[in-house]
Amino acid sequence: MKTWKPPHGVPIKSWCEDLEPGAAEQAHYLAIHPSMFHHVALMPDCHQGYGMPIGGVIACRDVIPNAVGVDIGCGMVAVDTGLLAAACDTDLLKHIMGEIRKVVPVGFSHQDKVQEWSGFDDCPDISILKTELEKAMRQLGTLGGGNHFIELQAGDKGNLWIMIHSGSRNFGYKIAKHYNKLAQDLCTRWHSVVCPFIGEDGLAFLPHGSSEAKEYIEAMNYAMAFAAENRWMMIRKVISIMGISDRDCHAVNIHHNYAVMENHFKQNVWVHRKGATSAQEGQLGIIPGSMGTSSYIVKGKGNADSFNSCSHGAGRCMGRKQASRTLTVEECDKAMEGIIYGRWGTDRKGNTDLGEAPQAYKDIDVVMKAQEDLVDIVERLTPLAVIKG
């Protein structure tokens, strides 16, 4: 871990060994933010995001919508099926993946009919939620696009695992945009000292205790509940294909984009984890690699300097467009040898999209080495087959 302190700001503590300039600049702005408490923590998968770097963890007196991001509640679920991975040959894996595609909509696809979830009856009376509720009823149990995925993996103890990465779908995006705009307007009205950070991609905040902050937190928590149920609904469909019950499975279901009140350094503060997961002492977590590389089930060590956090994955080393410009289909196919996957998709202009290729991400084993003081490895998972959103 490296530590440095900007003038007039809190210290920055980084587990990232190859911090890009853009992420370092964002960390600097966080450190001098008037709401910041104690220090800024950067996980080993850290890279530039919007407003706040992905792989960043902060503790604040207030809430900052852009420090949570647009995919509120995005996270991971992993299930040990209890089945032997060695019993799944190529034909069986292809069959399972084909059946999954029939029951789990991916990309921009939604469900054909409204889905059932008790949480829909408990939707808070918040306009941005009510506006999106009807669409959300058809988005529940869908994967989404980008870096979201469903993967079948072999654990190093011999069992077959299912892992899914997905979030709150359009709920998170709409909530983030709405409340960040509200925070911008309020900070401008107050002539806040965060003026340099008020833009659409900035760090405008909602004061703790204000009606606006309370409403944002309620909406955010609802989106998180939706995201957790979204992942679990997909898992139930996948294990049903395999002929097993969810009662027979051991599951871990976690978020990596959210804010929560926690006590750190003897203060109750709003901890924002953006592309980072909770790693309290003894807490199980999931750290996925890139498409084509290993993932890890981990147990937290409760490191106070990281605000009891760890990385949420490997972390990008190339943007999506950069990867598509610089990589070739041949080298990306080679990186996926031995793994069942759909061919590379295309962007909106019809160009081949290589943004999710393994080469677009950092080396997961380097990332894991950098956070040995944050987590212990419980099990290493090797990819067998993957569906990308």
Average of per-residue pLDDT values in the chain: 93
Whole-angstrom CA distances from 337 to 158, 273, 329 are: 21, 34, 12
24-77 tens-digit pLDDT: 999 999 999 989 999 999 999 999 998 899 999 999 999 999 999 999 999 999
- What residues pair up with 346 in beta bridges, in sequence order? 352
Whole-angstrom CA distances from 71 to 41, 53, 118, 148, 152 are: 20, 14, 22, 11, 24
8 A C-beta contact, residue 107 and residue 312? no
**Residue 204 burial (C-beta neighbours within 10 Å; 0-12, 13-18, 19+):** buried
- DSSP codes joined into one string, 53-65: -EEEEEEESSB-G
Residues present in the chain in total: 389
pLDDT band at 197 (very low <50, low <70, confident <90, very high): low
Annotated catalytic residues are 312
**Least reliable range by pLDDT among 80-94, 233-247, 373-387:** 233-247
DSSP state of 352: B
Task: Give the angle subtended at the CA of 201 by the CAs of 198 and 202, to the nearest 5°.
Answer: 35
**Residue 91 burial (C-beta neighbours within 10 Å; 0-12, 13-18, 19+):** exposed
Report all structural domains of the chain as residue ranges with CATH numbers, in order of start. 2-317+361-388 (3.90.1860.10), 318-360 (no CATH)
Mean pLDDT (whole number) for 267-286:
98
Residue 374 has pLDDT above 80, yes or no: yes
Q: Coil, strand, or helix at residue 324?
A: helix
CB atoms within 10 A of CB 248: 12
pLDDT at residue 195, as a whole number:
47
Strands 12-14 and 36-47: parallel
**Residue 89 burial (C-beta neighbours within 10 Å; 0-12, 13-18, 19+):** exposed
8 A C-beta contact, residue 156 and residue 126? no
Q: Which two tokens stand for residue 155?
A: 């654990």
Total-model pTM: 0.94
Contacts of 359 (CB under 8 A, 6+ apart): 318, 323, 327, 331, 332, 335
Residue 358 has pLDDT above 70, yes or no: yes
313-330 tens-digit pLDDT: 999 999 889 999 999 999
- DSSP codes joined into one string, 203-254: ---B-TTSHHHHHHHHHHHHHHHHHHHHHHHHHHHHHHHTT--GGG-EEEEE
d(CA 206, CA 209): 9
DSSP state of 275: S
Counts of helices then strands in the chain (DSSP H, E): 8, 16
Q: Coil, strand, or helix at residue 153?
A: strand
Give the amino acid at 299: K
- What residues pair up with 61 in beta bridges, in sequence order? none
Mean pLDDT (whole number) for 177-202:
78
8 A C-beta contact, residue 22 and residue 49? no
8 A C-beta contact, residue 171 and residue 136? yes
- What residues pair up with 149 in beta bridges, in sequence order? 165, 388
Task: Give the angle subtended at the CA of 183 by the CAs of 178 and 184, to the nearest 5°.
Answer: 100
